[in-house]
Amino acid sequence: MSTTVDSHPRWAPRFTSRQHDDENAAWLGIALGVAFTVCFVTGVVSHLIQDPGSWFHWPARPAGLYRVNQGLHVTTGVVAVPLLIVKLWVVFPKLFEWPPFRSVAQAVERLALVPLVGGAVFLLVTGVGNVNIWRPYDFSFRTGHYAAAWIVMGALVVHVAAKWAVTRDVVAARLRGQSPPASTEAAPAVEGERPGGLSRRAFLGTTAAASGALALFTVGQTFAPLRSLALLAPRRPDSGPQGFPVNRTAESVGLTDVDLADYRLEVVGDGVATPLSLTYDDLAAMPQHEATLPIACVEGWSTNQRWQGVRVRDLLERAGARSGAEATVVALHDNPRQRTSELSSGQASDPDTLLALRVNDEVLVADHGFPARLIGPNRPGVHQTKWVARLEVR
């Protein structure tokens, strides 16, 4: 519905730009719908990998799939920021339409805007904040962001249903090379509308350029060819000790100088016939394998490195593990955050799942998990456990 003179009450502010129209709202709405849907699907996948139901199985291959998933999530999320701001500005005059609704259906549709807009702003603010390590709230980011995603997507279904006809008319007309029907055209918002100003093409083009620029300056955090452009990425994939980033330092978990005399890697649990307790030298004496695999952080950055170490499946075999065994990887530190991760049977038996001792032919530094870190294909970064002390096999 257009903002026409008779539906615009006297007390409302005057909106004089001709960009406040249904066609702009329709195009921006389509772009936002696509961005939010990609964000939602990739977000739910990431959630399920970390909290799988018994029905959910995440494969070990293709090795870089999680990297693409999370790169898409964060990039489409960032792209949505200018789109949402401009869309809210375009439709803002509708807030003052009078009467506020003419039917029950319209009341429902307009009420659904509260969770839709509130939730969308919440998702974008917490999401962008999280990747910049800005979390000025007490609740868990994952819990809040996840709940908001479902609320927003529910409200979005209502919103899309309500706006379907108008949007379809705009798109269908443009595809036929015609102007959209009068009902969707820019109605003069109020008397005194300024003629001129930006054309629609320039207005939408500028918005697209803003989104494109954000994407371009972010995606280099995970897409190596563009890494020199990753100006907006909080972490550059090529900076840090041994040439790649560190989130959780050894110092922050009190593991700056692990004494190799005391270090043992234990392979234990119901799933093994002979529990192992291996020194660092024992590990170094086992056959070493190499795999080029990414660390793909849930926060969107990723980095591909050449890792060398012992195959987890060799360790399991040496411990007489049952076939199809699964394992929990446990770190040396007491801090419970990210101390453990799970290896599915597919990952545990994958030839590229390593207990890495070296990276790019150098011994791991403390910040990258010395003495040994897990690295495996298609795992989120949080599951690439550093400073590994134990494999609990079942």
Pattern 269-308, binding to Mo ion, x per CB under 5 A?
Answer: ----------------------------x-----------
Q: Is 74 in the site for ligand MTE (CB under 6 A)?
A: no
Q: Which residues bind ligand HEM (CB under 6 A)?
A: 36, 39-40, 43-44, 46-47, 50, 73-74, 77-78, 80, 123-124, 127-128, 130-131, 142, 145-146, 149, 152, 298-299
Q: Is 328 in the site for ligand MTE (CB under 6 A)?
A: no
What would the two tokens of residue 142 be? 């994952």
Q: Kindly tell me which of 77 and 294 has the beta carbon lying closer to ligand HEM.
A: 77
Q: How far is the CB of 381 from Mo ion (least distance, A)?
A: 4
Helix (H, G, I), strand (E, B) or coil at 380: strand
CA terminus-to-terminus distance, the chain: 61
Q: Kindly tell me which of 90 and 297 has the beta carbon lying closer to ligand MTE.
A: 297
Q: Is 29 in the site for ligand MTE (CB under 6 A)?
A: no
Q: Kindly tell me which of 69 and 167 has the beta carbon lying closer to ligand HEM.
A: 69
C-alpha–C-alpha distance, residues 175 and 26, integer Å: 14
Single out the segment in contact with ligand MTE by CB under 6 A; choices: 3-11, 93-101, 156-164, 380-388.
Answer: 380-388
Cα dihedral 213, 219, 221, 226 in deg (nearest 10): -80
Residue with tokens 């990425």: 233
Q: Kindly tell me which of 42 and 167 has the beta carbon lying closer to ligand HEM.
A: 42
Reported residue count of the chain is 394
Q: How far is the CB of 150 from ligand MTE (least distance, A)?
A: 24
Q: Kindly tell me which of 271 and 369 has the beta carbon lying closer to Mo ion.
A: 369
Q: How far is the CB of 348 from ligand MTE (least distance, A)?
A: 17
Q: How far is the CB of 19 from ligand MTE (least distance, A)?
A: 42
- Biggest CA pair distance of the chain: 86
In the DSSP assignment, the letter for residue 355 is E
Helix (H, G, I), strand (E, B) or coil at 70: helix
CB 357 within 8 A of CB 363: yes
Q: If you compute the radius of gyration of the chain from its CA atoms, what whole number of angstroms results?
A: 26
Q: How far is the CB of 219 from ligand MTE (least distance, A)?
A: 17
Which of ligand HEM, Mo ion, ligand MTE, none does residue 338 bind (CB under 5 to 8 Å by kind)? ligand MTE
CB 84 within 8 A of CB 121: yes
Q: Kindly tell me which of 24 and 70 has the beta carbon lying closer to ligand MTE.
A: 70
C-alpha–C-alpha distance, residues 169 and 186, integer Å: 14
Q: Kindly tell me which of 86 and 327 has the beta carbon lying closer to ligand MTE.
A: 327
Q: Which amino acid is at 52?
A: P
Residue with tokens 């805007």: 113
Residue of 313, 358, 379, 386 interacting with ligand MTE (CB under 6 A): 386
Q: Kindly tell me which of 9 and 52 has the beta carbon lying closer to ligand HEM.
A: 52
Burial readout 53-89 (b: 16 or more C-beta within 10 A, e: otherwise) = eeeeebebeebbbbbbbbbbbbbbbbbbbbbbebbeb
Q: Is 253 in the site for Mo ion (CB under 5 A)?
A: no
Question: Residue 365, Cβ neighbours under 10 Å: how many?
Answer: 14
Which of Mo ion, ligand MTE, ligand HEM, none does residue 348 bind (CB under 5 to 8 Å by kind)? none
Sheet arrangement for strand 276-278 = 276-278, 265-268, 388-393, 327-331, 340-343
Single out the segment in contact with ligand MTE by CB under 6 A; choices: 39-47, 120-128, 202-210, 243-251.
Answer: 243-251
Residue with tokens 């890494």: 227
Going by C-alpha positions, the residue among 170, 162, 152 that lies closest to residue 116 is: 152
Query: Which residues bind to Mo ion, rule: CB under 5 A?
Result: 297, 381-382
Given the rule CB under 6 A, which residues bind ligand MTE?
245-248, 295, 297, 331, 333, 337-339, 368, 381-382, 384-387
